[in-house]
A and B are shown apart, each in its own frame.
Chain A
């Protein structure tokens, strides 16, 4: 193996797929020739190709030595089917109770919302009544200038009300 000074040299982006075909032995004819010509003129691609080719050679030598998975054996399929049946049964059991649980949750949520509304209403009522009474006592309501049907405060007001033919409608 030749030493390389710069192992991080990058290949040309537009050639990488073709270089893969070439290094994997999956290109031939004109495509292979084109890659060979390019490799002669491009140092980056050549360096990347040398590394990829060395890896590929090593992989071809070493991969047959890798541990293969243990044979699952003839019982595996039966085991899978048994697990499928067990899980299906569990799902079926869960689905019997699901409508009840859903209803219970909905009921609980509705009850909580209703209770919250009641509490809010009850806490607002006494305060509002007290405010209104206090306002009336202080005469604020009487002196509201925007209220067109408020009680008359002078003789002119009384006359104006009598003259008002639509009676404030």
Chain B
């Protein structure tokens, strides 16, 4: 591993000071260039800037808190190893999130686990309350009802095919735009939209299948 050059600031703060007037994107590009030339402190700063988002992304896909830190570390390790091959045409964040998504799926494949596993289906009592929960316009105020809404969404997402689930989680929970998703998942923008639309429709199909055709209605 190359040593940190003496003329380059050794700490992240020292790096960011001369760059403070530039836009965040330019600043990040500069950090990437420094990291590519072997400046560890620049890479450390990149880790600091993106660690929360990478953690969130790993958590959303794996839904196993005990594995999140390990996988997130692995993501940054891979990014460090291959940063010289990053050509700066795309945003660093997009490139990093692409590594994150791939790492999560590799991890799930190796462990041969599904992203989320529930041992049992919902109880009849829960099913009878589903309609109200799914039709609600805003989050309930009571803690137990909020927990139920959360559980219901997790249950519905669990029933979706993995690709649909991943897309919905990235779009609706992690807040990625369609453009970002197309770059992260290497898909055409139109394909992302079509898949998202189908995934949304399927999510409601999950609900209808569980409660049966012509199920509870208001």
Contact = CB atoms under 8 A, between A and B. Distances in A.
Contacts of B146: 65
Contact of B194 (A3, A4, A16, A88): A16
A70 B137 contact: no
A46 to B, nearest CB: 12
A59 to B, nearest CB: 5
A68 B201 contact: no
A122 to B, nearest CB: 50
B214 A1 contact: no
Nearest to B1: A88
B47 A77 contact: yes
B138 interface: yes
Contact of A61 (B45, B149, B197): B149
A110 B153 CA distance: 63
B101 to A, nearest CB: 15
A79 interface: yes
Interface in A53-83: 53-72, 74, 76-81, 83
B77 A7 contact: no
B80 A51 contact: no
B134 interface: yes
B190 A62 contact: no
A61 B146 CA distance: 10
Interface stretch (B20-28, B55-63, B90-98, B102-110): B55-63
A66 B44 contact: no
B197 A7 contact: no
Interface in B164-211: 168, 172-173, 178, 190, 193-194, 196-198, 200-201, 203-205, 208-209
Interface residues of B, number: 58
B56 A7 contact: no
Given A69-B68, A80-B73, A63 B153 contact: yes
A76 B65 CA distance: 15
B36 interface: no
Given A1-B217, A57-B137, A58-B134, A77 B48 contact: yes
A160 B71 CA distance: 93
A5 B218 CA distance: 15
B150 interface: yes
B52 interface: yes
A16 B198 CA distance: 8
Contacts of B7: none
Contacts of B59: 67-70
17 contacts: A1-B134, A1-B218, A4-B213, A6-B213, A7-B204, A7-B208, A20-B200, A52-B200, A52-B201, A54-B134, A55-B201, A61-B136, A62-B153, A70-B59, A71-B55, A77-B47, A80-B73
Interface of B: 1, 40, 43-45, 47-48, 51-52, 55-56, 58-60, 65, 68-69, 72-73, 76-77, 80, 131, 133-139, 146, 149-150, 152-154, 168, 172-173, 178, 190, 193-194, 196-198, 200-201, 203-205, 208-209, 213-215, 217-218
